[in-house]
Amino acid sequence: MAKVPLDHATVDACRAAAAAIADDVQRFIDRHTTVGIERTVARAYGVTGADPEGTPLANALVDRIHKAGLAGRGVAYFLGRALLDGASSAQEAAEQIAYGGASLEVEGGPTTNECRGALEAETRKAITRIDEARGARERFKARFPAAEMPLKYVIVATGNIYDDAVQAKAARFAGADIVAVIRATAQSLLDYVPEGPTTEGYGGTYATQENFRIIRKAADEASEETGRYLAQTNYSSGLCMSEIAWMGAVERLDMLLNDAMYGILFRDINMERTFVDQYFSRRIVARSGLVINTGEDNYLTTADAVEKAHTVLASQFINEAFARRAGLSDEQMGLGHAFEIDPWLEDSFLFELAQAQLIRQIFDKHPIKWMPPTKFKTGDVFHSHVHDAMFNLAGVMTHQSIALLGMFSEAIHTPLLMDRYLSLKSAKYVFGTARHLGDEIQWKPGGVVEQRAKEVLLKAHELLVQVKGDSIWDAIGWGAFGDVKRKRTGGKGHAGVVARDPEYLNPILDELEGGR
């Protein structure tokens, strides 16, 4: 593989700065919980269902505890206490608390350890459920030959989960390795996860546990029928980040879009809420063996991709540091970046190659996710198809792991069946015809690619040092990433962040932090 010179001392310094940044946030994480985390714990204990108006029982349960000012004790405390009082299951305990008016009085109640003991079997069952889903996915996947890199990743986005399932199967027959069901616009701002299958949605389909099952079934059928495994992706982001991570883990998904800062920057979700939620969601992901996809590619849609390329690399170091603190292996970190430089800029292809090669070398074990051009797509389908072909060429030359394929109809509509077919056909051609091109060439010493790679790395280091000095809380406030500014206590969901009580109980987190 044609490599760019890499200053390993600077790379180490970047990782050290990112570690300090993440440690500062981790100290906050370790002292707090959120309503989203507590709902996830309830779901892990088997709490399910919704009232006639569609409010999930997990929400009704945690909302009552939160309004009483007791969420800092952890929902597990109250479920355990109800079991000690005679409830036959966590589900019955949740219904008694949410709808039956069971007392929330803490004084004089059982101790935290007594509640932990009452939940011991339920906790073991919850963790086993993740492990069994992981085992089932790995056994099924092992029946099929491994796909060649870059994996061909496409999206489906009909708004109707049953149509999505048909389109997912069609994508596999056309050559896709991964299918992502695009989530309904603004679901990330909902502080609950809808129940059951959904057939309506603007811009996509709701992420629900039943929808995950429907796509998993379709993906498994397509794998059997084509003799090639079809991986499934969805979104673990927004106000229900950890709940969706749990659902993805137990429904055998392969990947989840899960970024430490995407929701803060692009959905205006409170940063304290996001950082605490992402940690718990990633603890679940680590246990389940899923791969996360981070969202640094989005920075280049709001900021200039030449001037701010280093912010992508700096953020990747930070995402890596957060992920390691949550127990993820390097092989589970699909760090994201994108082909978003103005295509009419002279030598822009060399700049794209430099960035892609630099990231490939620095994160050499990570399944790097390579995102296609979108920002400069205009509806000119012929130029878009050429633009996507250049993206495919850069991806295969620099050995990217996961390529989200561009669509010539970008900026016109969500992909139709024939759009996806032509995109997969183009990728198959370019990936095959240039499979070993990157292994046959060397970059000119002192040339454009080498110099650009050095420049991006040095600027990333400068930014990380600055963020370390300011703290990431303030750095996001002055727009360090994506040219987007957010306040620490602003954004949606801050009211759902709660300081942990000294007697806080969360046996699920304790098990996840204890390792496999």
pLDDT tens digit string along 40-87? 999 999 999 999 999 999 999 999 999 999 999 999 999 999 999 999
Position 516 confidence tier, pLDDT thresholds 50, 70, 90: very low
pLDDT in tens, 75-100: 999 999 999 999 999 999 999 999 98
Query: 0.85 cut: is pTM over it?
Result: yes
The domain locations on the chain are 29-126+495-513
Rounded distance between C-alpha atoms, residue 135 and residue 133, angstroms: 5
- Report CA-CA distances (Å) from 441 to 394, 434, 447: 13, 12, 13
Rounded distance between C-alpha atoms, residue 487 and residue 490, angstroms: 5
Q: What is the mean pLDDT of the chain?
A: 96
Rounded distance between C-alpha atoms, residue 182 and residue 200, angstroms: 13
Mean pLDDT of 8-23: 98
- CB-CB contact of 237 with 269 (8 Å): no
Is 369 marked active-site? yes
- What is the pLDDT at residue 515? 53
Rounded distance between C-alpha atoms, residue 351 and residue 357, angstroms: 10
When mean pLDDT is compared across 407-421, 440-454, 475-489, the lowest value belongs to 407-421
Give percent of the chain above pLDDT 70. 100
Instruction: Say which residues have a Cβ less than 8 Å from residue 380's Cβ, sequence separation at least 6.
Output: none
Among all chains, which residue has been given the structure tokens 């790379």?
Answer: 11
Is 304 marked active-site? no
- CB-CB contact of 341 with 312 (8 Å): no
Instruction: Say which residues have a Cβ less than 8 Å from residue 260's Cβ, sequence separation at least 6.
Output: 274, 275, 278, 294, 318, 319, 322, 323
Is 211's pLDDT higher than 70?
Answer: yes
Is 262 marked active-site? yes
**Catalytic annotation, pick one of 262, 279, 299, 504:** 262
Instruction: Say which residues have a Cβ less than 8 Å from residue 128's Cβ, sequence separation at least 6.
Output: none
- Report CA-CA distances (Å) from 179 to 307, 424, 425: 32, 12, 16
Rounded distance between C-alpha atoms, residue 422 and residue 372, angstroms: 15
pLDDT in tens, 368-408: 999 999 999 999 999 999 999 999 999 999 999 999 999 99
- What is the pLDDT at residue 413? 86
Structure tokens given for 476: 């996001």
**Catalytic annotation, pick one of 369, 377, 468, 492:** 369
Position 113 confidence tier, pLDDT thresholds 50, 70, 90: very high
Residue 150: cis peptide before it, omega within 30 degrees of 0: yes
- Report CA-CA distances (Å) from 111 to 73, 78, 117, 377: 11, 11, 10, 60
Is 2's pLDDT higher than 90?
Answer: no
Q: How far apart are the first and last CA of the chain?
A: 36
- What is the pLDDT at residue 50? 96
- Report CA-CA distances (Å) from 463 to 268, 455, 456, 481: 22, 12, 11, 10
- What is the pLDDT at residue 214? 98
Among all chains, which residue has been given the structure tokens 């010493």?
Answer: 445
Mean pLDDT of 306-325: 97
Among all chains, which residue has been given the structure tokens 């092989």?
Answer: 331
DSSP string, 135-150: HHHHHHHTTSPPPPSS
